[in-house]
Amino acid sequence: MDDATLHEAGELEALRRFLPLLPAGDATALGPGDDAAVVAAPDGRFVVTTDTMLEGADFRLGWSRWHDLGWKAVATNLIDVAAMGARPTSLVVALAVPPSTRVAALEEFARGLADAIAAMAPGVGVVGGDLGTARHGVIAVTAFGDLEGRAPVLRSGANAGDAVWLVGALGLAATGLRHLFAAAVDEAAEPVRDAAERLRRGAHGASIDAQLAPVTPIGAGALLADLGATAMLDVSDGLALDAARVARASGVRIALEATGVALAAPGASLEAALHGGEDHALLVTIPADVAPPPELDGHPVRRIGVVEAPAADEGGTVTLDGEPLEARGWDPYRAG
Amino acid sequence: MDDATLHEAGELEALRRFLPLLPAGDATALGPGDDAAVVAAPDGRFVVTTDTMLEGADFRLGWSRWHDLGWKAVATNLIDVAAMGARPTSLVVALAVPPSTRVAALEEFARGLADAIAAMAPGVGVVGGDLGTARHGVIAVTAFGDLEGRAPVLRSGANAGDAVWLVGALGLAATGLRHLFAAAVDEAAEPVRDAAERLRRGAHGASIDAQLAPVTPIGAGALLADLGATAMLDVSDGLALDAARVARASGVRIALEATGVALAAPGASLEAALHGGEDHALLVTIPADVAPPPELDGHPVRRIGVVEAPAADEGGTVTLDGEPLEARGWDPYRAG
């Protein structure tokens, strides 16, 4: 029975085994099982973000365990909610996989969702979902949060004179991916699970974990908003590109300092720190007279630069130790 | 330029052309462009439902135009919100397509979303999304609604003595799909666009439209709740199976009457009416002393049966003119 495929078990049996593994959530007024769920929004507004993880483009089953995929879905989506200064409340998950997938794989995925929530965002509920079939795996997550009366922290609020802080680590996930591509593929560049598992237990384990099952500073978002954050975002496409987004939206120059950036990127190259992507750290600007604690939600908080007034002809640039930094990052339609 | 592919144009250019086509929405506090959107929830709760449409399993680009796909994504997701007795407010859309897809196709998809909203749910906004790449198209929609102070209408509230009503039509979408498979495929069973377009302009046009770009009674959900609906759902997997869901959840027998069912299924066989699926009509139980109007939100309202007390050993059955009806429907993992 534990080796039954979805095709053998059918949707009802799969759901019967999948749904009880999901956390109900403190804000859930009505959970899965009807046409729609109902979630409390005590603030009178809710924060919403959506993202898809696609087999091939975003994950490989030869490297990621199903538990990792559930974990990463929570870690990467709730951090977008946190980056608005909100407390995550709930999420919905749509999953499409080949009918030959084992029901046990779905259960591992559900345990990954539940374990990630317990570790990073206790009280969050999985309030709904959708199971379907696809030739290649599709994981679509939509996540919600409550602002608890706060104004949302946008990308556009940075002011000249603010300090630039980073909560989390830079370059680690990209370094992990580089190790996987270097040492966990066969001659045809296909993933090799045994090699990936060995890497994960070895000296590069932290970077492999950051790539496959990241721990993101979800609890820090609301704390940073309460500290007076003027702008904030989740660094997902590389620090250089994401800092440029804040600079452009705010009409400022972001002046990064290489010393601070290097400290925020232990074990990673400067290239990975600046352009690597998938960091899921929080980049945040805070008035200079506010000193955040050295750690928030278990993640280091490091000062990596300052916000400056732009020159007259300058529309949102980023510099590193005074030199212009290319806003080069990840474009899914141009990769490969 | 209009023929540029996503690979040639890149994500930023694609978004620059896609986003302005989307309606902003009356409840939108913060639209696309930041880590997350913010939506008003005046009721202090929000209704949420999610669904994926996958190329191959759920749609074929040889039959559906991109405008149809945007339209159907709105029509089939907002009806789930309506089936709770809520007024839809907003949705997020994640789209993954091959990099060879033209940007113009994305624009048609956006116009389909916008046109469907204007026709079926004016005031709803598209507040966020995600663009990615996949070998086969993926459309993941999550939709939201406001209960405006109402209790959600569940599947479990039907009482013996209620009348069973249907808002919309049965069997039409399944009939359309049958016509497409019969007359719009080549020898290899691959879709043929010209043949599909010809069918759509011909005598079977209404059923083809019901399959590819359905008009669903989204506005009727809140009106039915206000009339005193005790249970309600969106008929998506066939009347027999969905009626059984209400019967089981409510602990009642649903006694359907063939005359009423046939009237609700003009131009469709009884088999298609009972087991066809993708009707996206509202199945609703209402106390017998309430007579709903003959039309709601432009859709016919027809009495198709009554709710009866179950026999002692009976756990939620459905009958048709007194004979047990098989709860046979659609299971994505067992199809094909």
Asked whether the beta carbons of residue A52 and residue B130 sit closer than 8 angstroms, the reply is: yes
Looking at this predicted complex, what is its ipTM?
A: 0.94
Q: Is B80 on the interface with A (CB under 8 A)?
A: yes
Q: With contact defined as beta carbons under 8 Å apart, do A120 and A74 qualify?
A: yes
Distance of CA B20 to the CA centre of its chain: 25
Is A279 annotated in some ligand binding site? no
Please check whether residue A326 touches B, CB under 8 A.
no
Residue B232: count of CB within 10 angstroms of its CB: 29
The amino acid that residue A33 corresponds to is G
pLDDT of residue B314: 78
> Is B146 annotated as a binding-site member?
no
Contact B119, A75 (CB under 8 A): no
Residue A18, pLDDT above cutoff 60: yes
Q: How far is CA A196 from CA A109, A192, A213, B207, in A?
A: 19, 6, 13, 51
Strand A295-296 versus strand B253-256 pairing type: unpaired
Helix (H) or strand (E) holding A97: strand A87-97
Cα–Cα distance for residue pair A271/B188, rounded to 1 Å: 50
The model's pLDDT over A47-74, given as tens digits with 9 standing for 90+, comes to 999 999 999 989 999 999 999 999 999 9
Predicted local distance difference test score (pLDDT) of residue A333: 57
Contact A49, A142 (CB under 8 A): yes
Which helix H or strand E contains B247, and what residues bound it?
A: helix B239-250
Q: Which domains does chain B have, with CATH numbers?
A: 6-146 (3.30.1330.10), 153-328 (3.90.650.10)
Strands A231-235 and A138-146: unpaired
The amino acid sitting at A225 is: A
Q: What is the pLDDT of residue B334?
A: 57
Contacts of A51 in chain B (CB under 8 A): 94, 130
Structure tokens belonging to residue A237: 């496409």
Instruction: Find residues 210-249 of chain B whose CB sits inside 8 Å of chain A.
Output: 232-234
Output the CA torsion B289→B291→B292→B295 (10° steps): 160
Note whether B10 contacts A40, CB cutoff 8 Å.
no
The verdict on whether residue B111 carries a ligand-binding annotation is no
Interacting residues of B157 by C-beta distance below 8 A, sequence separation 6+: B230, B231, B250, B285
Interface test with B, best of A13, A18, A28, A34 (most B CBs within 10 A): A34
Give the Å distances, CA to CA, from A80 to A86, B127, B133: 9, 15, 20
The closest CB to that of B50, out of A129, A155, A335, belongs to A129
Q: Where are the alpha helices (DSSP H) in chain A?
A: 6-18, 66-82, 103-120, 172-183, 193-201, 205-212, 220-227, 239-250, 258-263, 270-275
The count of C-alpha atoms lying within 13 angstroms of the C-alpha of A22, restricted to the half-sphere facing its C-beta, is: 26
Question: What pLDDT tens digit does each residue of chain B (336 aa) get?
Answer: 468 999 899 888 888 899 999 999 999 999 999 999 999 999 999 999 999 999 998 999 999 999 999 999 999 999 999 999 999 999 999 999 999 999 999 999 999 999 999 999 999 999 998 888 899 999 999 999 999 999 999 999 999 999 999 999 999 999 999 999 999 999 999 999 999 999 999 999 999 999 999 999 999 999 999 999 999 999 999 999 999 999 999 999 999 999 999 999 998 999 999 999 899 999 999 999 999 999 999 999 999 999 999 987 777 899 999 999 988 765 555 553
Contact, A139 vs A55, CB < 8 A?
A: no
| A48: chain B residues, CB-CB within 8 Å | 36-39, 90, 92, 127-128, 142, 144
What rounded mean pLDDT belongs to chain B? 94
pLDDT in tens, A138-170: 999 999 999 999 999 999 999 999 999 999 999
B16 near A CB under 8 A: no
Q: Per-residue pLDDT for A334 more than 70?
A: no
Q: Do A51 and B130 touch (CB under 8 A)?
A: yes
Of B9, B47, B52, which has the smallest distance from its Cβ to A132's Cβ?
A: B52
